[in-house]
A = this chain, B = another copy of it.
């Protein structure tokens, strides 16, 4: 492959959502700045997983590349939700130092295209060549690099509005799940409790939610029935659907 050139003013940032211990989590990467001279650490903080795009690459391909380099997963749910280009987005002192240390011009305006991704955390490797990544619960995210707190916030908004109309919550669960697990996912994302009877009634209408002839294993309580999401059924039925409730 020829030597590819990175574009220096267009980047992608991925808000990778996972669901663990009944919490919505985001995959973040450590950023450490060490003094050239003394090699002592000046600061360590966290950033989203992102990168600049190659000159011969689309932004979608760049986002999938970033996601793959970080998680080893391809073919995951990924959606572009917003572009970020505020004149001050790179102007925090830490970020200026970082950019300069990285040989970049802190005055150069960079537009970052935000994507959010939903993955079932059980099957991903977060250790990779591009630095230490870790899952951080939304509630515990501190001040991130650049404007990444805002990007996370906007990604959550996009996710909340999307999940009300499209069955993407399943992406956060293992292939087989119980209705209680599904309800928890929706409650965690929407940040609100849902009435169980109401939820089950709505679930009942989802032809694409397929009950399996199989139950939970190794649970203390009475094992619940397992379900699967059928993308086929969903794609077939979605065309007929026209909703108006909001």
Contacts and interface: CB of A to CB of B under 8 A. Distances in A.
A182 to B, nearest CB: 11
A246 interface: yes
B109 A83 contact: no
Kindly name the residue among A164, A203, A246 whose own CB sees the greatest number of chain B CB atoms within 10 A: A246
Give 6 closest A-B pairs by Cβ, nearest first: A243-B245, A202-B244, A83-B83, A165-B246, A83-B113, A165-B165
Interface residues of A, number: 36
A186 to B, nearest CB: 9
User: What does DSSP make chain A's interface, helix, strand, loop or mixed?
Assistant: loop
A115 to B, nearest CB: 10
Contacts of A113: 83, 85, 111
Interface stretch (A21-29, A55-63, A94-102, A116-124): A55-63
Interface in A176-233: 190, 194, 202-203, 205-206
B86 A58 contact: yes
A164 B243 contact: yes
18 contacts: A7-B109, A55-B87, A55-B109, A58-B85, A58-B86, A58-B87, A59-B111, A80-B83, A83-B111, A85-B113, A161-B165, A164-B165, A164-B243, A164-B244, A165-B165, A166-B246, A194-B242, A205-B245
